Copies of this chain bind each other. A is one copy, B any other.
């Protein structure tokens, strides 16, 4: 039996990466509260590693805006303000709109059918009020488009912004709306028609209006 070859590099699972993922998750889901003071010794014990990978993870989290470090003083989780939505969504929407434009020439039937499937999953999750699932699938939908745009800068920036979106979602600062499904459909149609202008407009509207404040 042919063993499926894993084409993703065998990236060594490092203590730092593990710590980073766990800490980011804890900040996103509120296990680590806004403004909470982070003691690297405690965190190291909690994760069963030394302080070094913790420190390194915290520094990366700082560069992404999840913690602030005041050298020699303290390391804290950043706050989640309501107005963060207004800071976050505009750049995310213009980057997603650009990603759609850049993805357009690389788009093909295979990816389009994947998008359609994701959108069906998304609709289903919304229907069943599985909002966490819906958010994940929505993210995968957009990630597909970003991947197709094939631009490493956009990729990493969107990844970072999406993590903040997840955090706002967990803090119930944003909700998903039904007609995202329709707009996803419009996006797919615009891809099929090579309608670049429509792509950018729909994408921008999708992010501005379909995720909205309570």
Contacts and interface: CB of A to CB of B under 8 A. Distances in A.
Contact of A157 (B71, B91, B97): B91
A90 B98 contact: yes
Given A59-B60, A90-B102, A94-B98, 19 more contacts: A12-B71, A12-B72, A55-B56, A56-B59, A59-B59, A60-B63, A65-B153, A65-B156, A87-B151, A87-B153, A88-B153, A90-B98, A90-B151, A91-B95, A91-B153, A94-B95, A95-B95, A153-B161, A157-B157
A46 interface: no
Interface in A154-183: 154, 156-157, 161, 164
Contacts of A3: none
- Say what secondary structure dominates the interface of chain A: helix
A151 to B, nearest CB: 5
A11 B100 CA distance: 40
5 contacts: A12-B72, A60-B60, A65-B152, A65-B153, A91-B153
Interface of A: 11-12, 14, 55-56, 59-60, 63-65, 71-72, 87-88, 90-91, 94-95, 97-98, 102, 151-154, 156-157, 161, 164
